[in-house]
Structures are given as C-alpha cells and as structure tokens.
Amino acid sequence: MLGSISKLLTSLLLLILLSGQYTWANDTQDIQPIRIAMGNFEPYFIEDSNSGIFTELIQAVFSQMPEYKPKFIFGYSNRRAWYDFKQGNIDAVSNLIDSVKLSACRSDRFFRFRDVVISKASSQFTIRRVSDLAGKKIVTFQGAKGFLGDEFANTVKPENYQEIAEQNWQAKVLYSGNADLSIGDMFTFLYSIKRMKKITAKASDFVFHDLFPPIYSRMGFHDDVLCARFNQALKIIKKSGEYEEIYDNYLRSFDYYKN
C-alpha cells in the first residue's frame, strides 16, 4: 500500500515538473525578439554599456510589453539604418525623423532633442532672442543654418560663424575662448565636458539659454500591431513619470542640477 502511494506521489511530482518545463518552454517561445537599429552618437546611444538616453527610453517602453524582447544593434548611421530597414534586415529603427520618407508604422513622438545656446558663465551674456546672437562668435553643428530657421541664418555672419562635424568638439572650442557661444544639443555638450581630458570644465561653468523649441523623432516598425502596442506602453511610462525621470537622471549624472 505504502509502495503504491509512493509511486503515485513520484508520478505526480514528475508530471508537475514536466508541466512546468513545458509551460516555461512555451513562455520562452512566445517572447518575440525585435531587432532594433540603434544610433552611434553618445550619450543617446552608448554601446559599451548597452545604455544611453534613447536606449533606456526604449527599454522602459518594452518593459511594459513582456511579449517582446528588444535586441539592440548599435553603431548605425541614420542612412544605413533606414536602408537596412527597407531591406527587411531589422524589425525596427530608432530616431526616425519626420522629414524622412520611409514606409513604416511610426510611433508617437518619442525621442526628444534639445538644442540650446551655451555661453561661459563668466561672459554674463543675456540671450533671450535670436537677435541677441548678432555679433558673437558662434560654433555649432553642421547644417545648423538650415535646421534652426531663417531668422537664425540671417542673423549669423560668416566671419563669426563656424560649423563643425563633431558636436563633442564644441565644448572645447567654447571653453578655450575660440567662440563666444556654442549652439547644439544640450546633452551632447554636457556629456562631452565630462569626458574632456586635460580640461576641468563642469556644468556650472556654463549657462544654457533656451532659445529653440525641443525636437522629436520616432520609432519606426514593420509590424503595425507592435507599433500600436509600443504607443500604448509609451503612454504608460509618460504617465508614470518614468519617461522624464530618464532624462533627469542623465542631467544629474552630468552635475547639471548642481548649478
């Protein structure tokens, strides 16, 4: 009698274990990997640590979508990402700009850039409008004249104006006194001064003047269902405050809030 009960218990235990393994295997199979083309500019995409502002934003959204698992493929230029997306080599593309013609289901506005005017605190400049830029030596990113509007393009003069390819060099140009103002992405500037060698600049050495509206880009997907789920999850993290918290955490890491 005892032997029969023991055999029955052993059989039940084995059945439970097998059932658990089957359920786990099914759950694993149900998770769909999503190959995402990621950019190549820091601090928005940081390949070495699988982090960055945009990376963490995407991770936050997908945390609300357990049926999908993002697979990040770093190092893409925008053009290469759009090409691979067209070829079907990837499932999604990050940082999709509205002006780009690409057959994709586009997410709601997602990635936020913030171009600002930056001066050295010691300069004590007052910058409240575009006309305040007149007569000052400016260093900025390539294509700024076409990007920042007609008023900006008409205000700056060639003898006081320089566009450079690498935005992380703008901080060095400004700090060294070779420009009065730097115009470009705020997070790129803060990240670059943290990484400058032989220069002990800090965020409080500069003043950040808000002159231009924020700019947004999106995610692009082949799958309309995934796109809709992404937008739902994005609303959740915005409502919870997690979206803004990611941006704020990076500002704190750059000592911006110590100003």
Question: What does the pLDDT look like over 132-178, one tens digit per residue?
Answer: 999 999 999 998 998 899 999 999 999 999 999 888 889 999 999 99
Report pLDDT digits (tens) over 49-90. Answer: 999 999 999 999 999 999 999 999 999 999 999 999 999 999
Which residue ranges make up each domain of the chain? Answer: 1-30, 31-111+217-258, 115-209
C-alpha dist (Å) from residue 4 to 7, 14, 64, 143, 202 = 5, 15, 48, 82, 76
Q: Quick one: pLDDT at residue 167?
A: 82
Q: How confident is the model at residue 93 (pLDDT cuts 50, 70, 90)?
A: very high
User: In the block, which residue shows the tokens 């692009």?
Assistant: 220
Q: How confident is the model at residue 24 (pLDDT cuts 50, 70, 90)?
A: very low
Q: Quick one: pLDDT at residue 26?
A: 47
Residues in the chain: 259
Report pLDDT digits (tens) over 199-251. Answer: 788 999 999 999 999 999 999 999 999 999 999 999 999 999 999 999 999 99
Give CA–CA dist 127/143, Å, rounded. Answer: 22
In this chain, the answer to whether the domains covering 31-111+217-258 and 115-209 adopt an identical fold is yes
Is residue 88 within 8 A of residue 222, CB to CB? The reply is yes
Q: Determine whether domain 31-111+217-258 maps to CATH 1.10.390.10.
A: no
Q: Which CATH number fits domain 115-209: 3.40.190.10, 3.30.460.10, 3.20.20.60, 1.20.120.160?
A: 3.40.190.10
Q: Quick one: pLDDT at residue 251?
A: 95
Q: Quick one: pLDDT at residue 88?
A: 96
Give pTM, 2 decimals. Answer: 0.84
Region 4-32 average pLDDT: 53
Q: Quick one: pLDDT at residue 19?
A: 52
User: Residue 61 corresponds to which tokens in the numbers above?
Assistant: 């959204």
Q: How confident is the model at residue 194 (pLDDT cuts 50, 70, 90)?
A: confident
Q: Quick one: pLDDT at residue 198?
A: 74
Asked if the model's pLDDT at residue 12 lies above 90, the reply is no
